[in-house]
Structure 1
Amino acid sequence: MAGGRRLMARDGARPSYDPAGPDHALRAALQDLRTGRWMAMRTLLAETTPWWQWTQRTQVLAAAAAGTDVVRAWLTEEPDSAHAVVMHARVGVERALRARRERHRRTHELWIEAWDAAQTATVAAPRDPVPWVCLLALAQLDPEQRWEEHRAAAPEPMLPPGPWGLLAEADRRDPFNREAHHRMLQFLYARGGSGRLAEAAGYAQWAAGQAPPGSALHLLPLYVRVERYRRDSGHDAALDLHWVVEEADREARRALHSWFERTDPAERALPDLNHLAHALWGALKFADAARVFEAIGPYFTPPPWMYRTPDRDRAVEVFVQARDRCRAAAEGSRP
């Protein structure tokens, strides 16, 4: 089946967005969850051991469960389950962040509930990085940094105060945890202002510089570049040069060589693959981008492609055009 999907993708079929991507076990648990059942989720998480996979699966499951009472039913049935406690925190965080985006009147209440649930999870699962990732995610709801834990001194003098203690706790349990560092970026974005975006760029470069070969943190500068483009779209006539300047080219090549070529294909997150393909395509590195498109296969993620068109529903068309252009260039360069 996987080979058939890959063939379809190479033949030019439109890719699809699927939060589970190639993780078929996760997809099955999601389908079960959407019917109001939690046993498949419970079994899947019991079988999930690497922290990178645990972090990824709990995030995707929480996004699907946030509009339901499935996790609450699980926790009620098994109140001593550390996995259920962690998922309860995950769902609480997802609801609080959604409420903030929608400017819901219960945002503060949901925030406090999620914070309490995450604190409980740090006790129930003391070796798990995810409860600390949850607390980091909630930090973006405090852009004024009124909470003391959100204004700790940075480990580097050029970086701003922030939830560094929370990041350190996540890193202590899972060094270079991908989501933890993305949550830190989101906190820096939430502080607002063009100067603050420069802080985010500095942070991304610092984190990537600390990361070992194969770490997904090498892609952080690509995410910041997309965020800058998103904010400037429609206001800057020079945006076409945004992707081909020397710095953008260097960031794309560094991510290719330090991450894509040095990590296990099973550990590559779809958003990372899409951001790398997008960066290489924008930097006119078509042959290299074609390799990444091949790794993406029949799936895609709307960001970053949705920011390259005024009509965000046409993101998949931008993706397909970029993929086909890169494949054609790569095939034309072969002897």
Structure 2
Amino acid sequence: MAAQGFRPVYHPAGHDHALRGAVQELRTGRWVVMARLLDETSGWTAWTRRTQVLAAVAAGTDVVEAWRIEQPDSAAAGVMHARVSVERAVRAHRTGHPRTRELWQEAWTACLEAADRAPADPVPWVCRLALSVLDAQQRMEEHRAAPPAPMLPSGPWGLLAEAEKRDPYNREAHHRMLQFVYARRPGPLSEAVNYAQWAASMAPVGSALHALPLYVRVERYRRERGHERALDLHWVAEDAVRDADRAMDAWFLFCATDEASLLDLSHLAHGLYGALKFPDAARVFEALGPYWTPQPWAYRTDRPDERGPAEEVFLRARARCLGGPGARGGP
């Protein structure tokens, strides 16, 4: 798909067509397809991903509340209530909304209720990890537990352990933990680098956690624009190439790419492209198919808040990799 005129599609459901249908129904104010989809979802990986996407769409509506009224005993509805409550609290925190503390308390309570109703589900614990970014000063005891290894910061390690007890190497749980590390100490990223490398080193072959260091490298690039580094060299540095290679060899080559996170695929394609590994990047662009995500491509532009420039960078990188010498043909 390196043909001229190609335009990528951004959709939170990506390759998950069943999820796409549920999202569409949600946007029209109906919850039945969402409930049916979650009832049919097997495996915590798909469950975590689908509830996250659905909550991001439902947070601006009262659809989940309507579902809970109709089916008050539904554990899935309770989990989605926690998801939506957390999404609202995090958004309020991000914008400095005056109701942030109230929404935070409501979300925390919803997480406790969901964990009590669905004790085997990792998502209520992932949700509590998501809330930890609201406590960057670590005032709550559960957010200042001792780390499991040297060179790691104190933080909500007990919450991470509870999520991992239910779903080892849960992708979102570790990304939420990384967000907490960012919020805990803005500035130097040494703690985030240490955390991402530690998480990746503990992960088995095929785990998406091998892509986690690529996110930290993008964050470093975002923060250092115009400062110390020659930005073009940022991606070909020895450690950058190593991170991209490890994500390729330990995750991508073993994962079901049609079930993989579009963000993970985008970060890997971006890292390989920056490392000048165009044939490997081509394989990842092929796995993305018609889809893309604005991040991390937006950070290579002067207008990172606008989608248009990011899409242009993505398309140039994609065309270079799929059309370059040694690149595989598109599907």
Pairwise TM-score range, normalised by the shorter structure: over 0.9
- Give 3-state SS (helix, strand or coil) of 1:298's partner: coil
- The AA in structure 2 aligned to 1:66 is A
Are 2:215 and 1:223 aligned? yes
TM-superposed deviation, 1:159 = 0.8
User: 2:322 is matched with which residue: 327, 330, 333?
Assistant: 327
Give the match for residue 153 of structure 2. Answer: 160
Alignment of 1:267-286 (within 5 A): 267-286=259-278
TM-superposed deviation, 1:157 = 2.1
- Give 3-state SS (helix, strand or coil) of 1:256's partner: helix
Give the match for residue 258 of structure 1. Answer: 250
Give the match for residue 77 of structure 2. Answer: 84
User: 1:290 is matched with which residue: 282, 285, 298?
Assistant: 282
Would the aligned equivalents of 1:286 and 1:326 in 2 still touch at CA under 8 Å? yes
The CA distance in 2 between the partners of 1:264 and 1:299, in whole Å, is 16
TM-superposed deviation, 1:102 = 1.0
CA deviations 1:193-214 (Å, max 9, x no partner) are 333x210110000000000000
Alignment of 1:1-335 (within 5 A): 9-12=1-4, 13-195=6-188, 197-312=189-304, 313=306, 314-331=309-326
Single out whichever of 52-61 and 232-241 deviates more from structure 2.
232-241
Structure 2 gap segments, 5+ residues each: none
Would the aligned equivalents of 2:221 and 2:234 in 1 still touch at CA under 8 Å? yes
- Give 3-state SS (helix, strand or coil) of 2:147's partner: coil
Root-mean-square deviation over aligned CA pairs:
1.3
- The AA in structure 2 aligned to 1:258 is A
TM-superposed deviation, 1:237 = 5.0
The CA distance in 2 between the partners of 1:332 and 1:207, in whole Å, is 31
Would the aligned equivalents of 2:282 and 2:327 in 1 still touch at CA under 8 Å? no
- The AA in structure 2 aligned to 1:45 is L
Single out whichever of 324-333 and 293-302 deviates more from structure 2.
324-333
The CA distance in 1 between the partners of 2:327 and 2:109, in whole Å, is 57
Distance change (3 Å), C-alpha of 1:114 and 1:295: same
The CA distance in 2 between the partners of 1:234 and 1:247, in whole Å, is 21
Would the aligned equivalents of 2:2 and 2:323 in 1 still touch at CA under 8 Å? no
TM-superposed deviation, 1:267 = 2.8
The CA distance in 1 between the partners of 2:267 and 2:30, in whole Å, is 34
The CA distance in 1 between the partners of 2:109 and 2:176, in whole Å, is 18
- The AA in structure 2 aligned to 1:321 is R
Single out whichever of 83-92 and 14-23 deviates more from structure 2.
14-23
Would the aligned equivalents of 2:44 and 2:167 in 1 still touch at CA under 8 Å? yes
TM-superposed deviation, 1:23 = 0.8
- The AA in structure 2 aligned to 1:239 is L
Distance change (3 Å), C-alpha of 1:206 and 1:332: closer
- The AA in structure 1 aligned to 2:224 is D
The CA distance in 1 between the partners of 2:232 and 2:38, in whole Å, is 44
TM-superposed deviation, 1:263 = 1.4
Single out whichever of 233-242 and 200-209 deviates more from structure 2.
233-242
Would the aligned equivalents of 1:290 and 1:323 in 2 still touch at CA under 8 Å? yes
The CA distance in 1 between the partners of 2:228 and 2:73, in whole Å, is 55
Distance change (3 Å), C-alpha of 1:68 and 1:239: same
CA deviations 1:10-67 (Å, max 9, x no partner) are 4241102110111111111111111111000000000001111100000000000000
The CA distance in 1 between the partners of 2:261 and 2:2, in whole Å, is 20
* TM value normalised by structure 1: 0.95
- Give 3-state SS (helix, strand or coil) of 1:79's partner: coil
- Give 3-state SS (helix, strand or coil) of 1:303's partner: coil
- The AA in structure 2 aligned to 1:116 is T
Would the aligned equivalents of 1:293 and 1:323 in 2 still touch at CA under 8 Å? yes
Give the aligned length: 325
Would the aligned equivalents of 1:290 and 1:330 in 2 still touch at CA under 8 Å? no
The CA distance in 2 between the partners of 1:274 and 1:287, in whole Å, is 15
Q: Percent identity?
A: 65
TM-superposed deviation, 1:234 = 2.7
The CA distance in 1 between the partners of 2:159 and 2:221, in whole Å, is 29
Would the aligned equivalents of 1:52 and 1:267 in 2 still touch at CA under 8 Å? no
- The AA in structure 1 aligned to 2:277 is K
Distance change (3 Å), C-alpha of 1:60 and 1:333: closer
The CA distance in 1 between the partners of 2:134 and 2:102, in whole Å, is 12
The CA distance in 1 between the partners of 2:303 and 2:215, in whole Å, is 20
- The AA in structure 1 aligned to 2:102 is E
The CA distance in 2 between the partners of 1:180 and 1:326, in whole Å, is 32
The CA distance in 2 between the partners of 1:15 and 1:310, in whole Å, is 21
